[in-house]
Amino acid sequence: MSLLQYSGDLFEAMIDLLQVESVALPGNIISEKASSTNEVKPTITVDSHPTSTNSKLPPLRRAALHFLIRLVQQATVDAYQSGSMGQAFSIKRARTTVAYTASTDEDAVVRVMAREVLDALKDLVQAQMGM
pLDDT digits (tens, 9 = 90+) for 79-115: 888 776 666 788 999 999 999 999 999 889 999 999 9
Range of the domain at 11: 4-22+30-129
DSSP assignment string, 106-125: S-HHHHHHHHHHHHHHHHHH
Q: How many domains does the chain have?
A: 1
Read off the pLDDT of residues 108-128 as tens digits, 9 standing for 90 and up. 999 999 999 999 999 999 988
pTM flag (> 0.85): no
Instruction: Supply the pLDDT for residue 114.
Output: 95
Burial state string for 71-101 with b = 16 or more CB within 10 A and e = fewer than 16: bbeebbebbeeeeeebbebeeeebbebbeeb
pLDDT tens, position by position, 8-64? 899 999 999 999 988 887 763 333 334 444 444 556 666 676 776 666 778 889 999
